[in-house]
Amino acid sequence: MSCSRPSLRLYTNASRHSSSQFSSKHPVQFSCRSFASPASPVIERYAAKLSQRAKETGYTDVEALKSAHIINTPSQHNKAPVPPSNGGRPAQKPSSAPVKQLSAYLDIEKAAVLPAKEIEMLWRLRHANDPCSLSAVIPASTYTKLSSNAREYPCFILPLPRPSTPDADQNVDKPAVEVHFLQHALMADTTSTTLFTPLAEFKLRGEYASPHTTVMYHSDFAKSHGIVLMNGSITEGRGVTIEQAQFLLVSLQKFYAGMGDEASTNRRQGLLEQFTRGDEKFKVEDVIEETERIV
């Protein structure tokens, strides 16, 4: 499977029908100012502002600004991945995308003097040319809710719609859903991560199961600029596309970041608590229903 960039929108369905209908109704925007768009639109959108910023800081063009190491590329910064620390909980083997701190992507000291909007532009530019990457800029208040719940509920399951399967008995297509297991972990003082793995594989292989999607949150600028930088990637050949990974991240936000009204938040909080306690009342169907809601 080759990676390809989707549009900025994800789609869900308000009612439980065929999963093919998930891609045709009710656009849902990820409220953390959306994921990075395809490479050329990102660069075109910010080219003028970046060019102006380059001149203001004494550089001839955007490439010169990049070469000043405000944006670090793999050839400029090749730090070893931070070893995971998960408080004694079962751990997964590292994914193909090692977990790195923010300094592997940006020169923190130089970026810290920029306003939040310019950091956002640089962050999007940093990831614009990688078709397998996920990136976003999240309000610090949203991340605070998410990380607080992640510490209390470090594991959960989320459904992902799949192509429908025929039901010969009723002569209709049965909705198909694949369940995925997620794990949160604090990797360093300012870096946390979320791993997504098919639940069937996790049940079969346990700690040797390999995640298909790895997402990192960098809170280095949370206090100073009110933003948290998110990035991640999918592993090619694991049967999950960028668009499907985005769907899982939107679902994660619904449960962990208080997305929606008070009633929705309370229902989802209750499901997190039931799953963590191993409550017999917990039903996967209830989780599916919540992910199908618009907010």
Q: What rounded mean pLDDT belongs to the chain?
A: 76
d(CA 29, CA 23): 14
Whether 215 has a pLDDT exceeding 90, the answer reads yes
Residue 254 near residue 291, CB atoms below 8 Å: yes
Q: What is the pLDDT of residues 2-51, one digit of tens each?
A: 564 432 223 223 333 333 333 333 332 233 333 343 444 555 555 666 66
Top mean pLDDT of 80-89, 142-151, 160-169, 179-188 is at: 142-151
Q: What H or E segment, with its residue span, contains residue 150?
A: helix 140-152
Whether 232 has a pLDDT exceeding 90, the answer reads yes
Phi, psi of 234 (to 5 degrees): -105, 155
Residue 156 near residue 285, CB atoms below 8 Å: no
pLDDT at 131: 87
Q: What is the pLDDT of residues 185-200, one digit of tens each?
A: 988 789 999 999 999 9
Residue 117 DSSP SS3:
helix
Q: What does the DSSP 8-state code read for residue 14?
A: S
Q: What is the pLDDT of residues 201-212, one digit of tens each?
A: 999 998 889 999
d(CA 161, CA 218): 29
Residue 212 DSSP SS3:
coil
Residue 134 near residue 36, CB atoms below 8 Å: yes
pLDDT at 44: 58
d(CA 221, CA 77): 20
